[in-house]
Amino acid sequence: MRVNSQAPPKAAPVRAQYSQRRSPGPLLHYSYRFCFILIWMRKFRFLDSLTVGFVAVLLISNLVGPKICLVPWQPLSWLRISAAEFFFPLTYICGDVFTEVYGYGVSRRAIWLGFFAMAALSILGALAVWLPPAPGWNNQQAYATVFAVVPRYAMASLVAYLCGEFTNSYTLAKLKLFTGGKWLWTRTIGSTITGQAVDTAVIVVIAFVGSQSWPMLGRMILSSYLVKVAVEVVATPLTYVVVRALKRAEGVDAYDRKTNFNPFAVAEL
């Protein structure tokens, strides 16, 4: 019996035909991250209510903002302020609460939600004015007088709002790290000083340039700025109460040590 001394030929390596997995695209990746953030935020009991109130105040401010008011007190009768100044400072108090309690990432989410809500108000308001009135409805002129101003004022609000709110939140987050979480009043007032300076100058110039003289614009900027900062100072004790209550109820006290402060990084906490 002859035995073949040669080794059997080696089998050709079989290459498994695995389908190459493609990494998810950027849009899908950020969609996953954004959904994760929404699920993570659901564990907070009061965050949604605060966000809804924040957006509601923004919309109300845009509707009443075009009116310029006289302060009915003789020592301050020289002040010229927008009607929105009685409501809009509440958004900065909400922004302080968002950043102080939940962190800059949550504040960024609320800011963008408010931005898109105001943009929708501007577009839909202009569309409602453009639609022809029904026969027998004689209030088109009055309706247009109110809502025709909203698009320009809303555009000014959108630009000023983004600049001011992000300045406010960034300043508060950095001051919290600098103070080690102490002296809340330095953060609430300090962030308002910077944020409202940016917001007030931008919104007054864009909303009223051409319809008001430059001296009047200067008085409006100074008046609005002083009123906003004064409201924040007066509201500081209330802010203390709300912040402490929320920190206890939610069990969170955020410090933005490794936070990405890019305003457009909405898919990050």
Q: What is the pLDDT of residues 169-185, one digit of tens each?
A: 999 999 999 999 999 99
- Beta 68-70 vs 80-82: how paired, if at all? antiparallel
**Residue 258 resides in a domain:** no
**Global model pTM greater than 0.75:** yes
What local confidence, expressed as pLDDT, does residue 35 receive? 62
What local confidence, expressed as pLDDT, does residue 256 receive? 93
Could you report the per-residue pLDDT of 28-75, keeping only the tens digit for each? 655 656 565 555 555 788 888 899 999 998 888 878 877 777 777 777
Binned at pLDDT 50, 70 and 90, residue 246 comes out as: very high
8-state DSSP, 209: B
Given a cut of 70, is residue 19 above it in pLDDT? Answer: no
What local confidence, expressed as pLDDT, does residue 98 receive? 93
The residue among 129 and 268 whose pLDDT is bigger is 129
Q: What is the mean pLDDT of the chain?
A: 80
Given a cut of 70, is residue 222 above it in pLDDT? Answer: yes
Could you report the per-residue pLDDT of 112-130, keeping only the tens digit for each? 999 999 888 888 888 888 8
What local confidence, expressed as pLDDT, does residue 11 receive? 47
What local confidence, expressed as pLDDT, does residue 87 receive? 76
Q: Name which of 228, 234, 176 is nearest 199 in CA terms.
A: 228
The residue among 19 and 149 whose pLDDT is bigger is 149
DSSP-assigned letters across all residues of 87-145? TTHHHHHHHHHIIIII-HHHHHHHHHHHHHHHHHHHHHHHHHHHSPPPTT---HHHHHH
Q: How far apart are the first and last CA of the chain?
A: 78
**Residue 193 resides in a domain:** yes
Residue 209, beta-bridge partner list? 212
The residue among 221 and 68 whose pLDDT is bigger is 221
Cα(23)–Cα(150) distance, integer angstroms: 45
**Residue 234 resides in a domain:** yes
Q: Tokens 């000083």 identify what position?
A: 193
- Sign of the dihedral defined by the CA atoms of residues 140, 141, 146, 150, in that order: positive
**Residue 268 resides in a domain:** no
Cα(199)–Cα(156) distance, integer angstroms: 10
User: Residue 96: what residue type?
Assistant: D
**Residue 8 resides in a domain:** no
Number of domains in the chain: 1
What local confidence, expressed as pLDDT, does residue 62 receive? 76
Residue 205, beta-bridge partner list? none
**Residue 12 resides in a domain:** no
Cα(67)–Cα(143) distance, integer angstroms: 15
Q: Taking each helix axis from N to C terminus, what angle separates 140-147 and 104-130, rounded to the nearest 10 degrees?
A: 150
What residues make up the domain containing 147?
Answer: 31-131+139-250
Query: HSE (CB half, 13 Å, CA atoms) of 53?
Result: 15
Residues across the chain: 269
Q: Are 249 and 46 in contact (CB under 8 A)?
A: yes
Distant-in-sequence, close-in-space partners of 98: CB < 8 Å, separation ≥ 6: 50, 54, 106, 107, 110, 169
**Residue 266 resides in a domain:** no
In this structure, how many other beta carbons lie within 10 angstroms of the beta carbon of residue 143?
14
What local confidence, expressed as pLDDT, does residue 162 receive? 92
**Residue 242 resides in a domain:** yes
